[in-house]
Structure 1
C-alpha cells in the first residue's frame, strides 16, 4: 500500500486483501478436514487464523464499498461478525479439548453452535439484501455469497452429510473472495 494514498483507499485495499485471504484459507482448512477425515492440530490452527479476520470482513466491505448500504447492511455485517467471533472460539475449543471431528464438536456445543449458525445466516442475508438494494456492482459475488448462505440454511434444516455444508461454506467464501477481487480492481489506478 502506498502511504500517499488516501486512508479510505488504503482501507479498501486492506479489506480487499482480507476478503481474498481469509475465505481462501477457510476453504483450505475444510479441504484438509475432509481429506484427513476430521480435525488435526494444524488444520484447527489454520482454521482459527482464517476466522480471525472474518468478524470484520463484512463490516469492512460495508465501510468501503460504494454505493453505501443502509443500516440493515451494518446490522447484518455485525451479526455475521458476532457469529464468526464465536466460530473462532470453537476452533480453540476443539484444540484445547482434543475434539476430533466436526460432528463431535457440534455434539459438544449443540444448541449454542446452532444459534450462532442461524445468526450467521440471518446477518449474511441482511447484508446481501442491503447490498443489492444499494446497487452494488458486480452483483454476482453478492449472489454467490447468498447462495452459500441459502445452501447452509437448507442443509441445516434437513439431515445431510457434513460435506454438503462444506459446499455451502465454499460458495460463501468464493462470494467473499470475488467481492475482495472486485474491490481491489476498483482500487487500481484508472479502474472504473
Structure 2
C-alpha cells in the first residue's frame, strides 16, 4: 500500500489555521480569566484545547516558512514547543486540583513553571530572530510576536500584577495569528 504524504500546500493550510485558531482561543481564555477573576472549569478546558497545537506551532511555521529559518530557528521552535507541552500539563493540573487562580498555580509550581516560561521566551525570540534574518515576510507579525515575548519577560522581572502578563500574551498571540494569516492568504508575499 502506497503512503500518501501531505503536500506542502496542505501542510501550510493546517499550520495557518492552527496559527489563527489556537492563539485566538488562548486570548479568549485569558479574557475569561480576567473577567471572572480566576479560573473556571470551562475556561481551563478551553485553554487546554488552545494549548494542544501550541507545542507544534512554531515547528510547523519553521517547516512552511520560505525562506526557511536557520538551525537557531529550529532550536527556538523546539524550546517553545517544550514550554507549551508543559503549560498544557499545568492546565490539566489546575483542572484536577481545582486551582482557583494563576497566582495560586504559580505558587504551587514555582521554579519549574518559571523555567518553562524562560524556555518559551528564549525559544520564541530565537525563532523570531532566525525568521527575520531569513527574510520571512511580512516582518511585522514576527516583530509583534517578539514584542509580546519581551513584554512577558519584562513583566515577570518587575513587581507587577500577574494579570498584566495577558498584555504580552495578547501581543504574542496576535503575532502568531498574523503569521497564520500570512501563510494562508499572503503566500506569495510570505515566500518572497
With the length of structure 2 as denominator, give the TM-score of the two structures. 0.94
- Whether the 8 Å contact between 1:12 and 1:187 is mirrored in structure 2 is no
Shift of 1:171: 0.3
> How many Å apart are 1:76 and its aligned residue?
0.1
Hey, what does 1:167 align to over in structure 2? 167
Residue matched to 1:3: none
Q: Answer with 179-188 or 105-114: which moved more.
A: 179-188
Instruction: Give 1:48's aligned residue.
Output: 48
Residue 24 (1) aligns with residue 24 (2): yes
Map 1:1-192; keep pairs closer than 5 Å: 7-187=7-187
Q: 1:17: Cα distance to partner?
A: 0.3
Q: Distance in 2 between matches of 1:164 and 1:100?
A: 18
Residue ranges of structure 1 left out of the alignment (5+ in a row): 1-5
Give, in angstroms, the shift of residue 163 of structure 1.
Answer: 1.9
Tell me the C-alpha RMSD between the 2 structures.
1.3
Deviation at 1:186, TM superposition (A): 3.2
String of CA shifts for 1:76-131, please: whole Å, max 9, x gaps: 00000000000000000000000000000000000000000001000001001100
Mapped to 2, the partners of 1:74 and 1:95 lie a distance apart of: 32
Aligned residues: 185
Report the Cα offset of residue 187 of structure 1: 4.6
- Counterpart residue number, 2:3: none
Taking the aligned partners of 2:63 and 2:20, their CA distance within structure 1 comes to 17
If the length of structure 1 is used for normalisation, what is the TM-score?
0.94
Q: Distance in 2 between matches of 1:62 and 1:138?
A: 15
Whole-angstrom distance in 2 between the partners of 1:168 and 1:187: 27
